[in-house]
Structure 1
Amino acid sequence: MVEPRPWIEGYVRAWNSNDPDDISALFTEDAIYYTEPYGPPWQGRDEIVSQWLGRRDKPGEATFEWQPVTVADDVSVIEGVTSYPDKTYSNLWVIRFVPDGRCREFTEWWMRQDVK
């Protein structure tokens, strides 16, 4: 079973560094990344890195808190909250792993929390 914590810590590190090597280390060469469940995915590590950097956040701009919903042999479902100074998002991630702990398929659902 692949423990999701090291991968998620690596994801948050890459999120804050925007270092292509940090991003690349997370994914297999042929990984698929869905930024929304039914949209076209980013396909392959090179496209994932390129698209990520095209949408990057400033280092330290957001915080991410998470907890596992379920962890199985090669897939984890994670519930998270991403907080920016002016907005907050609820997240649901489905992460499919290969045995060495890299991701082969990532799908994220995110929605802005209402601010009243």
Structure 2
Amino acid sequence: MTRTSDWLDGYIKAWASKEDADIRALFTDDAEYWFRPNDPEPVKGIDAIIEAWKEPEPSNPTYSLAVLIENSELGIITGTVDYPGHESYTNLWEVWFAPDGRAARFIEWFMTPRETAD
């Protein structure tokens, strides 16, 4: 296992459980969580991140996520997330690590499928 794959396993666990302890295991106390890279401000701090994670999702997601590349400071995760009956996304996530392996900064990049002419 690698630092990023361990973190991704924890993310998937926390995503499913929505338990405070599982989320706290992922992010530093002063972490920044960017839901979009161009948001005016990130969600700041672990308590705010926990609250944001507790917001209801449109449906139970299915996903295929994998580590693309990493070094000691940054992990890049790519894949897809599908919310049945709602939307599908292609993702690229930046995970900026603190020395203890938790994320100090997390940035989601996502795209929706392009409409194609039939």
Question: Which band: TM-score by shorter chain?
Answer: 0.7 to 0.9
Matched residue, 1:90: 90
Q: State the one-letter code of the partner of 1:51.
A: A
| Per-residue deviation, 1:81 | 0.5
The one-character-per-residue Cα deviations of 1:76-108 (angstroms, maximum 9, x if unpaired) are: 111111022233210010001112211100000
Report how many residues are paired: 113
Distance in 2 (alpha carbons) for counterparts of 1:72 and 1:64: 24
Q: How far apart are the structure 2 equivalents of 1:114 and 1:11?
A: 27
Larger Rg: 2
Conserved? CA contact 1:30–1:104, under 8 Å: yes
Describe how 1:12-23 pairs up with structure 2 within 5 A: 12-23=12-23
- Segments of 4+ moved more than 6 angstroms: none
The match for 1:10 is 10
For residue 73 of structure 1, give the secondary structure of its aligned residue in structure 2: coil
CA contact (8 A) 2:5 2:67 kept: no
**2:109 corresponding residue in structure 1:** 109
List per-residue Cα deviations over 1:37-79 (Å, max 9, x = no partner).
011100010111111112x437x81122122232111101111
TM-score by length of 1: 0.87
Task: Please say if residues 32 and 105 of structure 1, whose CA atoms lie closer than 8 Å, have aligned partners that are also in contact.
Answer: yes
Q: Percent identity?
A: 35
Any stretches of 5+ residues in structure 1 without a counterpart? Answer: none
Conserved 8 A contact 1:11-1:26: yes
Report the secondary structure of 2:57's partner residue: coil
Q: Does 1:69 pair with 2:68?
A: yes
> Which digits, 9 at most, give the CA deviation of each residue in 1:7-33, with x for residues without a partner?
111111111111121111110000000
